[in-house]
Each structure stands twice: as structure tokens, then as C-alpha cells.
Structure 1
Amino acid sequence: MIDFHRDLNEPQREVVSDVDHPILVLAGAGSGKTRCIIYRAAYLIHERNVPPWKLLIVTFTNKAARELQDRLEHLLHIPMRSLWVGTFHSICLRILRYESSSLPYNANFSIYADDEQKSVLKKIYKEHGYDVQKYPINKVLARIGRYKNRLMLPEDIDIAETKHNPFLGGFLQIYRHYQQALLMNQAMDFDDILLHTARLLRENSSVRAKYQDIFQYIMIDEYQDTN
């Protein structure tokens, strides 16, 4: 039996029980913000009868996600597969695999880390004759990452920008080849996981409506780190 009065101080109880509108908790390190998220989930499930799978709890690092999962499982005594708890990447990856029928990918697509990304680019450079001195691979990957963090694929970049920037013109061609190669290999890089999920929810109204219905309560740990 969870005793909210025993386990939480008064400000924490206020955070945990205030579930009818959006709230932002600002507090110093060690003040119990993560504890509030855990007990808020417990409050919603036990006191408000919210099904566990209607909660979405997101954090940034794998270590923080594991801690949340362990503490929730210990407190709630329910299997973690009943909850949507994880990092932004793991939650988005789960959605993409579930919704692969709405994507040009199968459900078992691969995730390419840094070495695989560089290998793809090296093959593109060899096939199309790009100069690695003019287009350093690390610089190209960093720029691709910046565009993807703005949810921009090659077709979203204004071609007019390339007229006065020769590097951007060549880069844009490389970016196109890179995305085509990933798709052909049924692979995504880590930035694609967030980009494709965001675009899927933005552009596919039926998928968006599905997850709007599923996620009745969303809690984000370390929210100040979001972009």
C-alpha cells in the first residue's frame, strides 16, 4: 500500500496530486523531482484509475531511464512492459517499429551508429567522386545532424541557398545520397529516430490521433534539456 502522506513532503504531494492541468516543476538537485514523477504515476494509477499504458514518462539518458523503470516497478509491482517509460530515442523507436506500415521501412530496420554512418558516406564518396578534403566526413555528418534536429530532410532545404554557397550545394547532394542509402539498407541513424517520429505524428493524422488517445498523461524528467 502506497502512503503518499508518509513518503512525500507537502510540496511533493502538491506536485503529485495536481494532475488536471499542465505543470512545470522547478527545484534544485536532490529535492525529489524524479521521486515526484514516480509517485505521480502511482497516484494516477491507484487514485485516479488511469491504465498504466496511458502514461508516457520520458527522460534523457539510458541510466536515468533504467532508474525510473526500476523504481516504478518496485513501487507499483507491475511489469514495465505495461508502461511507456524510456529515453526520447527508445520511445520514438518503439513507435516507429509499431507504425512501420505507415513508413517506407519494415519493423526490423537497423540503427546505424557512427561507424556505420561513416561507412555509408565513404561508399557514396567513392561511387560519386566526392572529395573528402572538400567535404570532410565528420563535418558532413555534423551538418546532417543539425538539419535533422530541425526536422529537415534534403527536400526541405531551400535550393536557392546553394547558389551562393558551393559547399552547401555539394553537401545537399551528399545528404540526398546518404538518405537514399539508408532507406535502401532499411536503416536509420539516431537522429532519424526522432525526425521520422516527429514527422509521422505531424503528417499522419490517424497515427497522431492514436497516440493522442493513448498518452493521457505525459511526464518529462530533466525537461530543461529539451530543444
Structure 2
Amino acid sequence: MILPTPTDADDPFAEYDNTLAPPRNSDSDPTPGIAPPSADFDPEDPLLVRLNPSQQEAVLHKDGPLLIFAGAGSGKTRVLTHRIAYLVGRHGIRPRNILAVTFTNKAATEMKERLQRLLGLEATKEMWVGTFHATCARMLRERGKDIGLEREFTVYDDGDQITLMKECLSQLNLDDRQYAPRAVLSLISKAKEKLIEPENFGHHFHGVFEGVVSKLYTLYQEKLKQNRAVDFDDLIMLSVRLLEQREDTREYYQNKFRYVLVDEYQDINNAQY
């Protein structure tokens, strides 16, 4: 089953790249929460027929925030993908105005495959569907230059980070048996998850070990920049910085992504939120 995809002519937001979204009429704003089915609701709709009533309500919800509580194996991912397909196929929402985020590459691949079966390859390719890190990497490659980040940056994996940290330890004449690279990187990662920059590290982490890590954190970030590289935590932290510091970029993505759907929302950390 492949649903028809709306064209630019059907969408008043087709030129979102260069224009701000028009203001909503406050009299017609939807009230957050699940609205009852509309008069044209079709219980035999292929997107709804295999869903239970609660799942149907979630799929039919069009505007405003919606949080779904359900246990493992209850069909949350199915609801999310069918909701996206319903927005595109029944409400005429442009695929490129949809952002869907999940945690693992496996889950992102599964989501894309389900959407391709429902909407087709081309419509799915227009959407942003991926992990938090993949989504942020894409954003930074598009707009990272606004905060001084090279477009063609490299993302360091675990091995690259260990190698770089050993260089930092050597430069500061520190013993990597006393300051194990993984332990140092783990503490730096915790700081980045809380959006703590190197210059503020000492205000949040105290102790002899932490004092040394503060110096290593500063040097580590300097070397990353010299190498035109970022680590996985930087992808999130730099994206937050980009959106906080650049109002034009923030407005661009606010208008681009009219619908944001997050799988496993309960697992997100402070920086991802």
C-alpha cells in the first residue's frame, strides 16, 4: 500500500526555506489532546483497520503535543509510522516537513522500511528519519558554519577518541595508568550530556581527578577543532549551541519541521531534550 504524496501546489508551506510560517488563527488553534474522529473518519481505512481504538486515536491526532505511554511490544513504532503516513496521505502534509527521531540505527532503519512500505521510497527520502546523532550531524553539516564548524567535519568513534586522549595525556605529561583514557572520556561525556563546556567544567565537578580532567577536556576540544573533528556527544551539544545562538537557524528548523515525532522519548537526556 503506497499512499499518494502531496505536491508543492497542494502545500502553502512549500517554500518554507525562504519564508516564515504564517501566523495561526488563535480562534482555530487545536486544543492539545486527542480530538474525536472527524466526520470523514473511515474505520476501514487501511492505515487504521489493524489498529486498536487507542492506537487509532493516536494516529488520528493531528496538531498539538501528544505523549504515548505503552509497554514494550505494544505497537508504539507502528503507531508512529502510521501516524506519519496518515499526516502525509490523509492530511496532505509534505514529507519534508516531518522529523522522526529514534535512538538506535536499527530502530531508524526499521522505521524507514515501514514508511517506505506505506508511502514509497521518494516520500520517505524527503523526511528526516534517523537517530538523534544522525539528525544532529545532518543539521550541523547544513548550518554548522554559523558557529564556526567546518562542513566536512569528521565524527570520531571510540577508538579515535582514545587515541586523541592519549595524545592529550602525553602532552600534559600525565600517566595513562593513573588517568585512564576511558575514565577521562566518560567524565567528559557526562559533562557534555549536561551541556557543560570546558570553561565551566570546574564549577560542576570537584576533586583532584576532576581538576586534571578539566585541563584534559580543554585540550581535547582544542585538538578536535584542529583536526576538524567532533565526537558523538559534540553532535548533540553543538546542535543545541547552534539553535540557541542563531535565531535565524532556529526559526528555519522550526518552520521546516511542522511535525516532530520521537520514539522512546522517556530515554532522552538533558542535551537531547
Post-superposition shift, 1:160? 9.0
The percentage of counterpart residues that share the same residue type is: 38
Matches within 5 A, 1:92-171: 92-158=136-202, 165-171=207-213
Tell me which moved more, 173-182 or 200-209: 200-209
Post-superposition shift, 1:48? 1.5
TM-score, normalised on structure 2?
0.78
Post-superposition shift, 1:204? 1.4
Post-superposition shift, 1:161? 6.2
> Are the structure 2 counterparts of residues 5 and 191 from structure 1 closer, same or farther at C-alpha, using a change threshold of 3 Å?
closer
> Are the structure 2 counterparts of residues 18 and 126 from structure 1 closer, same or farther at C-alpha, using a change threshold of 3 Å?
same
* Structure with bigger RCO (C-alpha 8 Å, 6+ apart): 1
Residue 128 (structure 2) pairs with residue 81 (structure 1): no
Q: Encode CA deviations 1:71-98: one digit per residue, 9 max, x unaligned.
A: 1011001423201101111111110111
> Are the structure 2 counterparts of residues 220 and 185 from structure 1 closer, same or farther at C-alpha, using a change threshold of 3 Å?
same
Post-superposition shift, 1:131? 2.5
Quote the residue 2:242 is aligned against: 200
**Aligned mates of 1:159, 1:187 — CA distance in 2:** 26
Post-superposition shift, 1:134? 3.2
Structure 1 letter corresponding to 2:229: A
Quote the residue 1:29 is aligned against: 72
Structure 2 letter corresponding to 1:220: V
Post-superposition shift, 1:169? 2.1
Equivalent position to 2:215, from 170, 173, 187:
173
Post-superposition shift, 1:133? 3.4
**Aligned mates of 2:203, 2:68 — CA distance in 1:** 43
Residue 230 (structure 2) pairs with residue 188 (structure 1): yes
Q: Which has the higher helix share?
A: 1
Equivalent position to 1:224, from 259, 266, 273:
266
Secondary structure at the aligned position of 2:70 is classed as coil
- Contact 2:202–2:214 (8 Å) recurs in 1: no
- Contact 2:58–2:83 (8 Å) recurs in 1: yes
**Aligned mates of 1:139, 1:87 — CA distance in 2:** 25
Any stretches of 5+ residues in structure 2 without a counterpart? 4-44
Structure 1 letter corresponding to 2:68: V
TM-score, normalised on structure 1?
0.93
Secondary structure at the aligned position of 1:48 is classed as coil
